[in-house]
Structure formats: C-alpha cells, structure tokens
Structure 1
Amino acid sequence: MSVARLIETFEPSKYQILLNLSNSKERIFTGKVIINGDIKNDNFFNLHSKALDIDFIKVNNINCEYKEKSEDEISIFSNRDNKFDTVSESTVEIGFKGKINDSMHGLYPCYYNDGEERKELLATQFESHHAREVFPCVDEPEAKAIFKLTILTNDNGEKVISNTKVEQETIIDGNIRKVEFEETPKMSTYLLALVVGDLHKKTKLTKSGVEVSTWATKVQSKDLLDFPLDIAVKVLDFYEEYFKEKFPLSKCDHVALPDFSSGAMENWGLITYRETAMLAGEKHSIADKRYVATVIAHETAHQWFGNLVTMKWWDDLWLNESFATMMEYYAVDNIHPEWNVWQDFAVNESIISLRRDAIDGVQAVRIPVHHPDEINTIFDGAIVYAKGARLMNMLREYIGDESFRNGLIEYFKKFKYQNTIGNDLWNELSIASGKDVKSFMSPWLEQPGYPVVKADKKGNILSIEQKQFFTSEHNDMNRKWPIYIASNIKELPEVFNNSYLEVETGEQLVRLNQKNVSHFIANYKGSLRSELLKNISSQDVVSRLQFLQEQSLLAKAGEISSSEHIATLNEYRNEESLNVWEMMSLLLNELKIFVDKDTLEEAKIRLFVAKLSSNLFKKLGVAEKENDSDEDIQLRPLILANMVFARNEKALNDIRAIYNNAKNIEDINAEIRSVVLSSKVRNDEDDELISNLLEIYKTTNSVDLKDDIRGALTSTTKEETIKMLLTIVMDENIVRAQDIASWFVHLLRNRYAQKTTWKWLKDNWVWLENKFDGDKSYDDFPRYAGAILNSEELLKEYSQFFAPMKQMPSLARAIEMGERDIEARVKLIKRDKQAVLEELNKIV
C-alpha cells in the first residue's frame, strides 16, 4: 500500500513553533504552531499528526473542522461559505498537546545517574518521520520550510539548544524561561532538533568563524570534549574548502546523549550522538578515537549531503548516507593520513557490503518506498551505507578526483536549499568528467547484488567472465553490470560491459580490482590463483586483505572448499598488518563453525590459531613499549585475544597478573582492557567477579568501560550467568534500551549462550515489540539472529517463529533474508565440515 504525499495538498514555507516543556516531569507538553504555506485545494488539505491532541485549528484566522485519518494524518476542511484560498499564501494555526515517552524518537527523556541522583535531559529524534509526534506538519523531506522555534521551560539553569543560536531569552510568569531561536535555513522537518538539560561544553571557531561546540552531561569529564571538538572543527574546515560552499549556519553543536537509538543524527547545526560515538579522551583506545572521528566526519558531511541538498523522497536515501559514509573516510584521511583509514574502508565497508549483498533478496541501494513503515527498514548499514559508499568511491576512481570534486561543487551551487533525485547529481558529474555517469551508475544502484569476475588463462589467452554472485539459494536474473575492472592488464578494457571477454596478454601476475575500488570480487582459477597466493606476501596491504575477503566469499558460495582457508592462512604466517590480521581473524572465525565446542577438533583449531599468532605475541607481548607504533598498539589486543582463545598459558597468566595488579579495572590500559576482562570471565569466572563487574557497569558513567564489561560478561560459559544476564537486559535501570540489541548479539554469538539467548528472544518478543516497534533498530533482532544461527534445528525454529510476521513491512525483508542466511550457513557446514577437519589433521 502506498501513502499519499501530503505536499500535494499543502506546501509549507515557514513554521513558527511554540513548545511549552515546563510540565515535562509529568510527561506532557503543549504547543502551538503557525504554518505559512500554499493550500492546493479549496475544500481540504492534510497534515501529519501522530499521538497529538488537537485543541483548535484556524486557517486564515477562521476556525476549521478536522478529522483524524489513518497513516498519522489529519484532514482539515474549509467552511461551506469560506473556501480555502489557493492563490495566496495561507496561515494555519494549530494548538495541541503531546506526550513525552521513552521511545527514543519524537521528544523523549534521556536518563543518567549523578552519584545517587537520577537525572534526565530532553532530546528529539525526528528522522525519519517523527517530527509529526511533536507538532503538526508536512513530515516529508520535500516539504522544506523555514523554522522559528520558541521553547518555554522551567528557569532551573538547564541549557536549551536547537539548530540555531538563541535570539532572545526572557523570564515570564516568575519562573518560566522563554527561549527564542533564530530562524533556520530552509530545511526538512526531520532535521529540526532540540536538547534541554544540565550540560557543559567546549567551544572553538573554525577558520571561517563558525562557532563549534561539543556538549555532554556534567557527569562526563570536560576532558572528553577536547578530542571530538578538534575533529569537528577540522572536518568542517575541510568540507567548506572541499565543497567550496560555506556552512550556512553561524554555529554547529555536537551533543552526546545518554540515550540514543541511532549512532548519531545530522540535525542541521545540532548534531546528536550516542555518548560512545562522540566522547573520547587520552585514556581511550586508538580504535575508539578513530571511530569517534569517522562518526563526526560522517555527520558533518550530512550538513551538505542531506541538509543543504536533500533527497526528494526516501527512495533516494543513498544521496545522504552513501556519500556521507564515503566522505567520512575522505575527510579523516585528510586530517590524520597516518591512520591509513582507506585500509579500514577496504576492510569494513567492503566485507560488510559484500557479505550481505550476496544474499538473494537483498535490497538495492536505491529502493522504492511506499509506506512510512518501510522507511526504517531501508537504513541497512550494509547496503545504503557500506555498499553505497563503495559505489561512490568506485565512481570517484572512475572519473578522477578532480572531476568528482568539481561536479560536487556545481551540484551544491545549483541545488542548495532544494530537493534532488540521483539524476541531478549524475548530470553534474557527467558535465565535470565528460563521461556518462548515469549509464555507468544506474545498474549498480538499482540492481541488488554484484558480480563475480572469473579469470582464467590458457597459454597467453586471458579470459574474464561476469556473473551475479550468490552465497544463498537464489533465482539468477542474469543481471549484468558495467564493471570498472581496475586491472594491471593493459589489454583489458577500463569498463567490462560484456558477459565474457578474451584477450591475449603476457606472463605478468594478473590482478583485477586493484586497490579494491570496485564492487565485485575476482575468482582466479587454476594457475592464476596459485601464482597470486605464492606471491601474496609481496603484494600491498589492500591486495593481501582483499584476497582473503574473496576467498571467504568464494567458500561461502561453494566455489572453493572452506578447507582451503587453512593453506591460505599458512601463507600469511608472517603477516604484521593490523587490517590484514582483522581479515585473517575473520577467516579463522569461519573455520570455527565447523568444529563443535569442547571437542578434539576445537583443540586443533586452537593450536592452529596459536601457530599463526605466536610470533607476533612474542614480539608485542601484553604491555605497551616505548617504540610501539599505532599499528602495534592496535594489533596487540587482537593477537592477545587469539592467544587467549588458544589457551596459551603465558597469555592467560599475563592477563591474570594485569587484572590482579590493577587497583581498579578503569586503570587497565584501554587498548587491552576488553581482552583482559573477557579472558577473566571465560577462564576464571566466579560469583564475586560477575558481581563486581555488574556493579561497576551499573554505576560507571564511562561508556567505553561499559562496552568492555558487556563484552566480558557475555563471554561467560555458565548457564546460570547467561540466564541472569538475559534477565538484567530487561531491567531499564541497568541496561539502556539503546544497548539491548548489543547485549543480545554478544550472547547469541557465544556458543555456550546461543540456544538460551534464542529462546529468550522468542519468549520475550512481545516485550521487544512494545519497546522497539517504530524504531530503526526494530528489525535488528531478526537480522542479527539470521546472521548468527547455524543449525537445521534453529533454522526451523526461526522460520516457524517469524512466519506470522512476514506480512509486516518493517520486518519482512529482514526475516526473509535471515532464513536464506541461516540456510546457506547450514549447507556450508554440511558440505565442507569433513574436508576442514581432514585439513586440520594434516597441519596440526
């Protein structure tokens, strides 16, 4: 079912919004909105309004009747003698009341503890279609308007911040503070934002004079605001120079919220974050800081991609998210080139997207959206974000940096404060590059999936063949793509449009998709594969990790046996790159699914992991050294975790010593703390340890410490502890709603906890539904379960349990893909298990 676009009946130009939050403790607010705009029909027009009690509606100062409709709409009718004016701009005035609840969208409270005192602040989350829960509006991205916001709140010293600077502040009625904000630029409803609370901040100016501030609750140290502030200023400077378009607001606030469903939200001039996605200080790990930097760079990119120029409708969400994901790497690489973030891109965005995009039924990057319930389901991180970013990076490589940038500069110049579709961008990039960008990009955006290019060589004849790649049961639609082949073989074309091609070439090593820039994988056959593997150590970092990615996927598809991973990994035994080791660890984890827990075969896997990791463990040890590089520091916990898995006595004893010598667990080096705590729980669990960790989790305000404790507790092997943890997950005084999915995933991945956790999901589905329905994270639960469960028994249970929910637009795709994902995993284990065990016997 499709819903009508309300902009077709009323087109707003300006909102004047008054919100009275002085009774927020009673979980209610009142408001009035005056909307200027064009009414398209003289009899009626529609507005979005959800869970609001309407007090009155006037149009051009005349009282009007209205009727509540389905789909969060109200219809407003003209009087018989006073038809609506469809020629001049009209004024619509509405009084209303609303409720504040814990949904983490609309207007909601964020809770935190200040010692023994429980405090809260108020925040908004309007993306994708939740502004309608706070004021009547046309809640569609195309309905851009200017917003003038006024807030009434108690005069208690709390900060009140919104998209723009405060224009005027007065005290009325003795103890009510009236805060009036400057007008916003013309923008979509989902970008309006508000935060009220006891906050502190740090501030710097950009080169162009924009006031940038980082904010947090006062229980968070002000020192945690310096690093994000430095990044926020530098990325805003970078984008202003790169896009040649000044940030249009006079300030840009970044606020860390204690409760936040998404990772972050790009509200124009008031960007909101989970605390873990924004706060970082000296004691945080390098990985934490890099994560914070990329999130800030992503959300700041949205100030142009999404805010200044906005998609007309949600089917072009990629115009926001794909570009922002690619630009986060571009910006951070400019600020911290020593971080080599493009290597991270080659690992993170590549493997996330390639794995999901190989399952039949996956959404395309650009996907039709007919109903609001579908909007949240399209925020698929693996597709709209990761795959989309790979496609944008592929396009940048194809047309060149200069053409890419020049096209973007013209795009922003031409379409600022407007709404666009993808073709508008393609036109500008085509003009800048002289290439037909639309015909190149459309198949990639509008078709799901991607190709595998099979490369084979007979004598001097090199053949390449493209075919859609699947890792699950599928219906092959014979799709084709214009593949930017990025090869070292000069006889191959720049773009491979055909199904099959032969060329005559020399004896050089054949490489396709150099730098891993294109969204396809290569399947090197026969001597091409053996030659590449033999020479793998001489290849660059991206090539080395890319080969492992491809082998992982080819095994899942049955193109090679998973047993070949063992010989492949043996060729990497001298590897010292962090990013390559992350891919090696992924392959090792894939081998673990073929062996049952607590068996002789599992012991052999442990020995194999130790064999690969022991040299680096000897080199790195457990303690930081003066001459450690950033790469050494980040590689140490990965290698240490491998040695813990291998049950290496030295590693286990070193960890015990670190834990026992620390006065507080906060004093353990943040780089290895998660490994130390997880090892203690997995190998030395007792009631006192679990109790102490839980108590710290309940009382600490350190979000990174909470993450480490969650990872440790969910490493337990004891059924009693597993059941207890699943109980506390439902206690809102211990586990925040935003963190429930993370607890669930950690426990579901734990072999000792998987069945109990899956049963918990089924037993408590109604509770989860009540808590998350309507939120972006609602379909995470069937999605994560589909990505982890791996037995015929659990596949059957999954299908039976979710069958009644397949008709729900918000869950249907996640459930269907989850079934295919589990089914493919079960078949993989059946097909390759014996070969893997035989290969292990040869090596260990």
Structure 2
Amino acid sequence: MRRFVRPLVLTALAACCGAALAAPAADDQPHGRLPSWAQPESYQLDFKVDPRQQDFSGTTVIKLKLTQASDHLWLHGRELKVSKVTVTDAAGKAHAAKYVDVAPQEGVVRVDFGGVLKPQELTLSFNYTAPLNQQLQGLYKVSHEGQPYAMTQMEPISARYAFPGFDEPGFKTPFDIRLTIPNDEAGVANTKQVKEEKAGEGWKKLTFSTTKPLPTYLVAFGVGPWDVVKGPDISSTPYRADALELRGVAAKGEGHRMQHVLGETPSIVHALEDYYGFGYPWDKLDLLAAPDFSAGAMENPGLVTFRDWLLLIDPDSPANYVRGSFNVTAHELAHQWTGDTVTLAWWDDLWLNEAFATWMQQKVTQKVHPEYRADLDRVRGAQGAMNGDSLVTTRKIRQPITGNGDIETAFDGITYQKGAAVLGMFEGYVGESTFQKGMRAYIQEHKFGNATADDLIDAIATAADKGDNFKQAFKSFLNQPGVPYVQTELAQENGKTVLKLSQSRYLPVGSKGNASQVWGVPMCVRYGTASGSKVSCELFDQATGSMVLEGASKNTWVLPNANGSGYYRFAMVKKDLANLGQQVGKLDDAEQLAYADAVYASFKHGDIDAGDVLAALKPLTSSKTREVALAPLTSFSWIRRNLAQTDAERAKLDAWAKAAYLPRLQQLGYHRKANEADSDSLLRSTLADELALVVKVPEVRAELLKQGDAALKRKADGRLDLGSADADRDLLGVSLGVAVQERGKSAVDALIAEVPQTSDPALRNAILDGLSEAEDPALTTEVRNFALDKKVKVGEMAMLLSGSRYTRAERDASWQWATANYDRIVERTGSFAGGKLPELVGGGGCSQDEADRLQAFFKDRVKQVTGAERGLAQATESTVLCQVLAKKQDAAAILR
C-alpha cells in the first residue's frame, strides 16, 4: 500500500520538488535486482578503521541519477547502524532522509526522501557504524600471530556489510576511497595512495586515486601492520606505455616470502596483454596474502587477495603450493580483463567472469610453464564438472537467479570448469586465432562496462563468420543443464566408413532425469588411417546423425573425442571400445584421459562392471605422464569405498593398486630429490596418500611413520620439529596422518597444541590434514570439537570436519557429531558457505537411509541458510545414486 502520512516538517520538500508528480509506492520492495530508475554515478567512501576494535565507522557519499519521480529509492545495506542520511538535490539543498532496514536478512534497504522528488541528479550521504565481520564477509577481522587485521571480501553480495550502496554488478561507477587508520598501521586499496595527512591524535588519513568504473563487489582495501614489499616493475608493452608498479602485501614478518610469486607475476601480465591486445588497465598491482579468507583468491583490481599459502612460498615449499600459486595468480590476473574491465551485467552470467578466467589461466600457464600441463588440467577439470553435471539437481551455466542463495552457490564446477571446457571446445571448433579475434573485439566493445552472454557469443560468431546455428549451439551448453552423451557405432555404407551418432543426456543408473535433450556439439573424432590417424570435426546438433570418416583404414578404430577437447561423454559398442582399448597407448595424453572418463562413465551408467573397469584402465597406470597414470584412481576409489564389503574383496582391490602403483612410488622414493621435476613431487604425494591411507600398504606406512615421528619430535624450545630434514615437506600431511592413526592420542594432542603456535600456512594445512585422518572414535570427536575452537580459522574448519567418513560407521559418527553441533558450525561459518553445509554435515553416503536422514534434518533448516537448498538436493541425489549403482554391481566381479 502507498504511504500517505508524512511528517509535516517534510511537506515543504514535497511541494518544492514536485509533489504533483506521480510516485511509485514505497512498499514496492525488490526481491531480485534493484529497479533501474535510480542509477549510481560515483561513490566517496570514507572509513575509520582500527583492527584492534570490534567496530568501524564510515561515511558514504553516492552521486546518483533519479530517472523517475519518487519519494524513496532502494539500495543495499546489512548490519549497518546508520545515524544520519542526507539527500542533496540538484539545486544544492540538503534535507534529512530516513534509512529503513526493510529486509535485514537480504540486506535490502529503503531510503525515504520525505517527499516526492522529480527526476534529477541527487547526492546521498550516510553516516554509520558497523561491526568488523567475524565470518570473512564485507569488511572483516582476522588475526596473525596475535595481531589483528581488517580486510575486505565483497564478492558476491557482501559489500552491503561494509557500506550502503547499489550492491549489484550491473552498477559500475568510479570510487574514491579514504582510510582513517592508526598511525602504526598500513593501509592499501584498489588504487595508488596519493595523499597522507594527520587526522587527530594517533590517527592518519590515507587518500587513494579515483578508480575506473567498478561494481561494488570489486572494492577492496586492508588495514593492519602489513609488510608491503616491492616487486619488480612490470615493463611497458605496445599496449601499455608505462612500467607497472608491483608490490606484495603480507602479515607482519611474512613479506620476505612474497618474492617467488612477485618474480612470476610479470610473465603472467605480459602474456595476458599479448592475448587481449589490451594493456593492464589499473594504476598499480598489489598481491595480498590474507591471514584468513573464504575463497581461494579474489580478483579485486589493483589489490588481488589470496589465501596466504598461495603467496608465501619458500625454496622448500611443497610442489602443489608452488604450482598452485602460479595457476591461481594467473586466474586472478586474467580477471583483470574478464570480470574487472568487462563485468557481467547480472549474476546469471557469472561464467563470463569465472569460466573465462579459468580458460585463460590455462592458456597462460601452458605458455609460461608448459611443464605444468595445463592442457591436461583443462580435461580433468571438465571431467570433474561432468560428474556433478550428471545430477538432475545440477544447475545451468546461465542459471536464473531467484534469490541470494542462487548467487552464492553459483561459484562451482559448473561455472568454472564446465564453462572453461565449453569455451575451449568452441575455440577448438573455430580455431584459436579466430577465437582470439572475437575476444579482443569483445573486450574493446565493452571495456569498463558490462556485458551478457549474447555479447560474447555475437563477438565470436562475427569473428568466425558463423550464423545462428553456431550461436544456438553455443547457447545450448549455457541454457540447459547436463552433459551430452554421444553414442557411436562404426559401420560400412556404400564403400565408406561411417560413424553413426545419436545423442541424449548422460544420466547415471538410477537417475530419474529425462534423457531427451539435444545440444549443438562441436564434435571432433580421431580415427585410424593407413598412415596413422586423422581428425574430423562437425557440428552435431540433431538427435541422430552420422559422419563419414574419409580415408579411414580397414577395420579402423575411432576415438569420439579427439584431443579430449569436447564437453561431452561418449559410449561405444563393445567391439569398437575393445578396438580403441588396443590403441590407447598411441593416443595423446588428453585423449587417454578422455578414454578413462568414457570407461568411468560407462560404469556409472550401469553398462560395465567393476572388473571390466579395472581391466580397461590398468594400461594407463604405467603412463609416464602423471595425470594419465593417476586417472584410474577415480574409478578405483569409488569401487573400493562402495563395493568392497569383504576382506577378500578389499584384498583383491588392494593387490590391483599395489601392483599398479607401489613400484612407481618405490622408484620415486620418499624424499624429494635435488632438482627433480615438480611432477615427480606431485606424483609421489598422491601415491603416498593413496597407498598409505586408503590401501594401507604396510611398507609405505612404515616409511611415512618414520617421517611423521620425526616431525612430532620436540625441539629444544618445546615446539614440534615440523621442518625436520627427515620429514619431506611434500609428504608432511600424509605422514602426520599415518602418525595420528598409529600413535593415537599423543599425536593428536601434540598437533592440536601446535596449531596456535604455528603461523606458517603450509605447516598449518599439513597439521590439519594429519588430524583429519584420525580413525579412533574418541579422537575424531576431539578433532571435530577442535574445529569449532577459534584457534582454527574459519577458512580451515572444513578440513577437519570432512575427515573420517570412509566407512559407514565413520559416517554415522560424523553425522551424530555434526547434527549435535550444527548451530555452532553455522554460527562460525555464517551463510557464505551455506551451499556446502549439507555435504559438510552428511555428505559422502551411499544408502537410502543416509539420504533420508539428510532430508529430515534439513527439512526445517534449509531455508535459514542461503544456498543450502541446492546443496541439500545435490547431496541427497548423489547418495541415492551411489546406492543404486552399488546394488546393481556384482561384488564378485571384483574377484575375477
């Protein structure tokens, strides 16, 4: 209902500013996007922050354009105590306004003007205080070695915790940021500091240069006793005239550990500029190692923030940290173009940010560090996404947004890995240079603005001279969920070799989904010829079709996913699959991964049994390429965990794994060798983990126990010797896990006591990894209780809560503890990780009753935490499908 009663003191405002004009009702609360008739044009953000306090204060000034008459407007704010709101009209007259917290849980706010204002330029000013957030959202508080810090994480919808504003990606404006902070603290923000001045006893005010247009979720700053270290300037390029200032920002005492990542960064920036033909657009680049962080990293322009272990690299850091550091840095810096320069218009197009950054990171890594095999990471990422995308409860890449939960749960494998795989598939179809031409046009057309999926697809289609068929094919992967399942059969017709095709939606056995879907699949197949092999590509956009394989040899073989570049699964008749299996050693590495996924997909589809799977995958285990050699572990782990019920079955499976992998581990040894390839270090880590903690090979456990015992020895200062020369850094987590299982309570107690004394993030992660391997029921309870202790960071909790769930008895114990402590878990983590809560509480099951109890527990709780509904649906479906497949399988097949 429209509100007619207003205080008399504001009647004059209504009269002078157009009371006769029509006004929308003040109860028209938006439940999705804000209305577009109030458009922000710029912000001035002033914060007074002392991380040692519990609250901060702020003043926000927003210039905006009102495009229709109204007595109010809508914006966002959450947990803000606003003491004063002033609206200044186009004539310069200032009037008091009212801040109304209409939907506190959504962060939706109404500002009442006190009378109708005609369309004009307005300025809104807010004075407020707010708590430093404790759940890693907005402007939040963390500690390192007892020192407090305040820093930001605004994405996706947490800027509203830090300041009132239009907290949506479609509203991009310049920002002016000023920080008033204690004299003994340092402050950093998106842009260069241009001024410092006194601000009263013990305080100083820092002013930063005006940003280019940004959405609120990319605003970033940090306050604390930071180490700010200079990196090498990034030299100019044809696309950027001046050298770029590069710095590392870390907690006090940690800055010296930033040199590795700072040394790698120039090559990443140069590679990105060369690809896009567009210079890095911001006035400096800081990389900040956050003491605690909810995400892996965040692409804030000019101030990119990371989990600290990704940036604090030492000469003996584990290989996965060194490689992860480069890959994540490349991902976040790729965002400086796709996400920051060109921003999604609304959250249904989050893939325009994340899929592109994932896809581009892989291109950069392949160029700068080809030995990291980013080409195989792309294939493995796609296959991981297909596992989740096989669920009926999956989401589309362009999922409609119905509420905040849909926004918060969009940061998943569908957006990142599936999106990147789809991009790579269409890039392969039109050609790399053509795709690059389209990307350059897309960036130039929408720079410092917003874009949609249609904008991107149009740019690629134009560059490739493609029409509506191409566009519809591309959109078929964005606008419908699921994985195409292409079934193939070789045939001879009229003297030609023909590959008959049909497509449907891939659904695991037991799924209740509808398989009748069709995509526009850019399908490339490799097949045998007299001189070797050949690749043929066509756009397959019908339910059935065929491809003529020109020049195919007699009794040819076929791989229906050449180069492993397609985002689809394939099935073959048994004869064709057998022929392909005989050729698997001649396929390239990516294609061998595609073959491994086809075997796994057939198993999950219910077409082959466990014995057939292990036989088909065994040849891959001897590959010299780490990623290929380890590919069978996905199938092996599922079979061992969910099918092996007797000692004989487990022994048979363990013998398979031991024969396949133990000689490889023994050849590598249990310590990193001087100058060894990082792929060997990574292979050693994975094999040690599998053979010691899953298969539990006695000789492997004995070797790792020696290392775990060495790490648990006390030094003269009473601390554990986690850096012992006898404990390999790459294997520290698994060796501590073995020690926890073998030494029991003494090891658990020692590690728990060490956590608050350890600031090194890699060592903390290793400790937590070790604790998560506890098996004794009393010790698993002790570990889980410790996860709720503030000595464990919020971002570390899941590492402890996800452990000890291999058997049904372990899952039951975990369930009982998690449900009893559910409120405490939510209190610490908040709603940011709400989509993962059901999986954290009761995931990993393989029975109907586990699915039922999950549903029953969350029935009345799911709506209280944003994002939990989708998480519950997916965890439940996965549990039920696991049971169906397990029941279908004949366990005796394992023993063949």
* TM, length-normalised to structure 1: 0.93
SS of the residue corresponding to residue 535 of structure 1 reads helix
Task: Say whether residues 1:76 and 2:104 are aligned partners.
Answer: no
Q: Is the 8 A contact 1:162 1:195 kept in 2?
A: yes
The 2-side partners of 1:344 and 1:62 are apart by: 57
The 2-side partners of 1:79 and 1:710 are apart by: 56
Letter in 1 for 2:835: D
* Equivalent of residue 625 in structure 2, options 539, 557, 577: 577
**Cα displacement (A) at 1:4:** 5.1
Partner of 1:214: 248
The 2-side partners of 1:207 and 1:710 are apart by: 41
Q: Is the 8 A contact 2:409 2:835 kept in 1?
A: yes
Partner of 1:62: 94
The 2-side partners of 1:774 and 1:618 are apart by: 45
**Cα displacement (A) at 1:7:** 5.0
Partner of 1:754: 811
Q: Is the 8 A contact 1:367 1:446 kept in 2?
A: yes
Distance 1:659 1:746, change over 3 A: closer
The 1-side partners of 2:701 and 2:123 are apart by: 71
**Cα displacement (A) at 1:765:** 1.8
**Cα displacement (A) at 1:784:** 4.8
Question: Where does 1:298-697 land on structure 2 (aligned, <5 Å)?
Answer: 298-347=331-380, 349-379=381-411, 381-436=412-467, 437-458=470-491, 460-471=497-508, 472-476=510-514, 478-489=516-527, 494-503=538-547, 505=549, 506=552, 507-595=555-643, 599-625=647-673, 628-644=676-692, 645-660=694-709, 664-667=721-724, 668-682=727-741, 684-697=742-755
C-alpha RMSD of the superposition? 2.2
User: After alignment, is 621-630 or 529-538 more displaced?
Assistant: 621-630
The 2-side partners of 1:703 and 1:588 are apart by: 32
The 2-side partners of 1:816 and 1:430 are apart by: 37
Task: Say whether residues 1:236 and 2:236 are aligned partners.
Answer: no
**Cα displacement (A) at 1:330:** 0.9
Letter in 2 for 1:677: L
Task: Say whether residues 1:225 and 2:258 are aligned partners.
Answer: yes
Letter in 2 for 1:170: E
Partner of 2:763: 705
Task: Say whether residues 1:151 and 2:179 are aligned partners.
Answer: yes
Letter in 1 for 2:566: S
Partner of 2:148: 120
Letter in 1 for 2:766: D
Partner of 2:303: 270
SS of the residue corresponding to residue 602 of structure 1 reads helix
SS of the residue corresponding to residue 766 of structure 1 reads helix
Structure 1 residues 381-403: Cα deviation after superposition (integer angstroms, max 9, x where no partner)? 21011111111111211111111
The 2-side partners of 1:339 and 1:607 are apart by: 31
**Cα displacement (A) at 1:697:** 2.6
Letter in 1 for 2:214: M
The 1-side partners of 2:624 and 2:843 are apart by: 29
Structure 1 residues 39-68: Cα deviation after superposition (integer angstroms, max 9, x where no partner)? 123332222222212222222242233233
SS of the residue corresponding to residue 748 of structure 1 reads coil
Task: Say whether residues 1:828 and 2:885 are aligned partners.
Answer: yes
Q: Is the 8 A contact 1:786 1:819 kept in 2?
A: no
**Cα displacement (A) at 1:327:** 0.9
The 2-side partners of 1:151 and 1:418 are apart by: 27
SS of the residue corresponding to residue 485 of structure 1 reads strand
In structure 1, list runs of 5 or more residues that go unmatched: none
User: After alignment, is 446-455 or 604-613 more displaced?
Assistant: 604-613
Distance 1:528 1:143, change over 3 A: same
Distance 1:255 1:598, change over 3 A: farther
The 1-side partners of 2:321 and 2:523 are apart by: 35
Structure 1 residues 350-385: Cα deviation after superposition (integer angstroms, max 9, x where no partner)? 222010000012100001113234310222x21011
Question: Where does 1:764-775 land on structure 2 (aligned, <5 Å)?
Answer: 764-775=821-832
Partner of 1:41: 68
* TM, length-normalised to structure 2: 0.88
The 1-side partners of 2:365 and 2:547 are apart by: 40
The 1-side partners of 2:63 and 2:863 are apart by: 39
SS of the residue corresponding to residue 550 of structure 1 reads helix
**Cα displacement (A) at 1:168:** 0.6
| Percent identity over paired residues | 22
Distance 1:687 1:372, change over 3 A: closer
* Equivalent of residue 189 in structure 1, options 213, 216, 225: 216
SS of the residue corresponding to residue 730 of structure 2 reads coil
The 2-side partners of 1:589 and 1:147 are apart by: 51
Distance 1:201 1:547, change over 3 A: same
Distance 1:708 1:581, change over 3 A: farther
The 2-side partners of 1:786 and 1:766 are apart by: 15
Q: Is the 8 A contact 1:393 1:517 kept in 2?
A: yes
Q: Is the 8 A contact 1:566 1:839 kept in 2?
A: no
Partner of 1:815: 872
**Cα displacement (A) at 1:516:** 1.3
Structure 1 residues 610-644: Cα deviation after superposition (integer angstroms, max 9, x where no partner)? 11123313422223445743332322223333443
User: After alignment, is 808-817 or 391-400 more displaced?
Assistant: 808-817
Distance 1:726 1:656, change over 3 A: closer
The 1-side partners of 2:515 and 2:504 are apart by: 10
Q: Is the 8 A contact 2:175 2:211 kept in 1?
A: yes
Partner of 1:161: 188
Letter in 2 for 1:405: Q
Q: Is the 8 A contact 1:456 1:526 kept in 2?
A: no
SS of the residue corresponding to residue 453 of structure 1 reads strand
User: After alignment, is 739-748 or 499-508 more displaced?
Assistant: 499-508
Task: Say whether residues 1:715 and 2:749 are aligned partners.
Answer: no
**Cα displacement (A) at 1:79:** 4.4
**Cα displacement (A) at 1:553:** 2.1
SS of the residue corresponding to residue 729 of structure 2 reads coil
Letter in 1 for 2:538: E
In structure 2, list runs of 5 or more residues that go unmatched: 1-28, 237-242, 528-533, 714-720
The 1-side partners of 2:614 and 2:456 are apart by: 46
How many pairs are equivalent? 824
The 2-side partners of 1:593 and 1:554 are apart by: 18
Structure 1 residues 798-823: Cα deviation after superposition (integer angstroms, max 9, x where no partner)? 12112224556522111112111100
The 2-side partners of 1:237 and 1:481 are apart by: 37
The 1-side partners of 2:546 and 2:170 are apart by: 48
Structure 1 residues 651-700: Cα deviation after superposition (integer angstroms, max 9, x where no partner)? 33333444455662323222222232222223x22332222222233321
* Equivalent of residue 852 in structure 2, options 787, 796, 821: 796
The 2-side partners of 1:743 and 1:95 are apart by: 41
Letter in 1 for 2:758: T
Larger relative contact order, structure 1 or 2 (CA cutoff 8 Å, min sep 6):
1
**Cα displacement (A) at 1:419:** 1.0
The 2-side partners of 1:778 and 1:598 are apart by: 37
SS of the residue corresponding to residue 145 of structure 1 reads coil
The 2-side partners of 1:503 and 1:393 are apart by: 22
Q: Is the 8 A contact 2:788 2:828 kept in 1?
A: no
Letter in 2 for 1:678: G
The 1-side partners of 2:390 and 2:124 are apart by: 50
The 2-side partners of 1:491 and 1:213 are apart by: 47
**Cα displacement (A) at 1:319:** 0.7
Partner of 1:738: 795
Structure 1 residues 520-556: Cα deviation after superposition (integer angstroms, max 9, x where no partner)? 0111212111111122223222222221122112211
Q: Is the 8 A contact 2:507 2:513 kept in 1?
A: no
* Equivalent of residue 142 in structure 1, options 170, 189, 194: 170
